[in-house]
Amino acid sequence: MQPILTASQIKALDAYTIAHEPIVSIDLMERACRAFVAWFTERFNNSFTVGIVCGTGNNGGDGLGIARLLKEWGYPVRVWLVKGGAPESIDFKINLDRLKHLGGVQIDEITAAPECSIFSDEDILIDAIFGTGLSRPVEGVYTDVIACMNTARGTRVAVDLPSGFMADEPTTGPSVEARYTVSFQLPKLAFFFPSSFQYVGEWAVVDISLNKAFIRQAQTSHFFMDRNTARSLLRRRSKFDHKGNFGHALLVAGSLGKMGAAVLSARATLRSGVGLLTVHTPQAGISIVQTAVPEAMLSIDGHASVFAGAVQPERYTTIGIGPGLGKAPETVKAFHKLLENFPHPMVIDADALNILGENRELLHLVPKGSILTPHPKEFERLVGPWQNDFERLEKQKGLAAQLQSVVVLKGAFTSIAAPDGKTFFNPTGNPGMATGGSGDVLTGILTGLLAQRYDTLEGALLGVYLHGFAGDLGAWEKGMDSLIASDIVEFLSGAFARLGG
Ligand SMILES: NC(=O)C1=CN([C@@H]2O[C@H](COP(=O)(O)OP(=O)(O)OC[C@H]3O[C@@H](n4cnc5c(N)ncnc54)[C@H](O)[C@@H]3O)[C@@H](O)[C@H]2O)[C@@H](O)CC1
Ligand SMILES: [K+]
């Protein structure tokens, strides 16, 4: 699990590494430059013309070091130094001397608004004006240069951060809009937000061996999930286990015309290792569920088309509720009763969340240790609108604390907030999963894991990881455009097997 640190913590981490490795700061910068260049040369060969736009701080120093290394690799390189008042750092000056000493690279200064055509010969523009040192929105000549870079034809690649982009607060001023961002050592918090994609593009993190002990003990509530953690959370079965050890889940899902949601959830619950599964269905769903999911038992509602009746909660280890449920008045009443009577953690999704959003007085009945899985629209119905993604994250943590439950906010880098405020961003998954029924599959997986008495947070982390991983395996085989929710269920076993192996 990778901690996510703030820009000021990263500055302290740099300083700590320099003092304790020990390594002189210009050598650490050289390591950063080499790591960037290793990433770069894998993707772009030296037939591309490369323009490197540098500031005068350490981000600019990186740019100059990168210029020297790329020149040595045979790339046609040109450098612009943007001089708009930011101080010149020591390592910037050293790398400028080294570049001049190497020779063969044209270096021009920009001190006033340039003609944007200056960048028109460059196939690639490397952005090294500002990195983590940015402390306020950019102005003056920086704004002019950034505007020219954003309209230039070349592919923009940012060093550490796009210039103008804030790592730990909303970006309000102009920023480079990068196609790629190559960031040092750790991802920055804002990379995980949808509104950042416009600036950051696809991002990669390259290792520059900053002090691991410092990173481990740094105070943060934000983490990036990884495969090793997911692997360590997955429980192995033992020889004498029997189905009683893996719990009995109840799925309350589906209504007339939406029984497919129940089927997808049920199949995913089964594929996630539950001992026994019962599906509570209105009359309209009986033959559908029995035929499509023969492994599941039924609890049959008296109502023809929606969830309206009582279930016997004492029989179940956990309940997953919501997919395809609808919001009929009878369903609202029945859900209310269920919340009053079921004491164990539940998985609450889709229309069950919408019912909570419209009847917030029910929220206090959500059993502690539950998992809520809203997509952004459902989340907004629960907590109201937000100004920016940082505020959205705070609202997510707030809801998790209020309900003493885990809130899983679905999207690219699905975030998983625990009641204590810790939030985890998930790396797996792909845009092919933005398709109807994908969320129903996640509900099924989480229900299956909670039934097996996984700790709520661990179950949520593992389940979200597996869901995305299965989607990735599915997309590799079928392509993103063709991926459907049933494929995610199909590839779940592959995801479990690879994680367990
Ligand atoms: N030894 C280190 O500390 C390392 C730093 N590295 C690089 O150094 C970068 C951070 O460097 P710096 O701390 O020098 O900062 P930057 O190079 O990001 O910014 C330079 C300076 O600009 C000024 N400034 C901030 N906001 C401004 C604004 N809106 N308008 C004008 N000036 C502004 C500040 O004085 C800031 O220090 C990282 O992003 C990374 O690229 C890497 O080389 C790895 C090692
Ligand atoms: K930059």
Across the range 127-151, mean pLDDT stands at: 97
Helix or strand or coil: residue 110? strand
Give the pLDDT confidence score for residue 243 in this predicted structure.
77
Q: Which ligand is nearest to the CA of 129?
A: 2
The question of ipTM being above 0.90 is answered as yes
Beta bridge partners of 159: 182
Q: Which ligand is nearest to the CA of 186?
A: 1
Q: Name the residue with the closest Cα to ligand 1, atom 42.
A: 29
* Separation of CA 125 and ligand 1 centre (Å): 19
What length is written for the chain?
501
According to the annotation, is 60 in a ligand binding site? yes
Question: How many percent of the chain have pLDDT more than 90?
Answer: 97
* Separation of CA 429 and ligand 2 centre (Å): 27
Sign (positive or negative) of CA dihedral 31, 37, 40, 41: negative
Q: Which ligand is nearest to the CA of 94?
A: 1
Across the range 448-463, mean pLDDT stands at: 97
Above 70 in pLDDT, residue 167?
Answer: yes
Give the pLDDT confidence score for residue 410 in this predicted structure.
98
According to the annotation, is 411 in a ligand binding site? yes
Counting ligand 1 atoms within 8 A of each CB, the residue from 58, 92, 139, 169 with the most, and so the one to mutate, is 58
* Separation of CA 191 and ligand 2 centre (Å): 14
In angstroms, the first-to-last Cα distance of the chain is: 19
174-193 pLDDT tens trace: 999 999 999 999 999 999 99
Above 90 in pLDDT, residue 336?
Answer: yes
Across the range 244-261, mean pLDDT stands at: 95
pLDDT bracket for residue 426 (50, 70, 90): very high
3-state SS record for 398-446: HHHHHHCCEEEECCCCCEEECCCCCEEECCCCCHHHCCCCHHHHHHHHH
Name residues contacting ligand 1 (CB within 6 A).
14, 25, 28-29, 32, 55, 57-60, 62, 85-87, 89, 130-138, 142, 159-160, 184
63-116 pLDDT tens trace: 999 999 999 999 999 999 999 999 999 999 999 999 999 999 999 999 999 999
Cα–Cα distance between 185 and 443 in angstroms, integer?
34
pLDDT bracket for residue 242 (50, 70, 90): confident
268-313 pLDDT tens trace: 999 999 999 999 999 999 999 999 999 999 999 999 999 999 899 9
pLDDT bracket for residue 240 (50, 70, 90): confident
Give the pLDDT confidence score for residue 501 in this predicted structure.
66
Across the range 325-351, mean pLDDT stands at: 97
Q: Name the residue with the closest Cα to ligand 1, atom 29.
A: 138
* Separation of CA 428 and ligand 2 centre (Å): 26
- Contacts of residue 230, defined as CB under 8 A and 6 or more positions apart, other chains included, come to 461, 462, 465, 466, 469, 499
Looking at the domain 2-220, which fold is it? Rossmann fold (3.40.50)
Ranges in the chain annotated CATH 3.40.50.10260: 2-220
Average pLDDT, the chain: 97
Above 80 in pLDDT, residue 318?
Answer: yes
- CATH architecture of the domain with residue range 227-500: 3-Layer(aba) Sandwich (3.40)
Ranges in the chain annotated CATH 3.40.1190.20: 227-500
The DSSP line for 308-334 is: -S---GGG-SEEEE-TT----HHHHHH
Above 80 in pLDDT, residue 244?
Answer: no
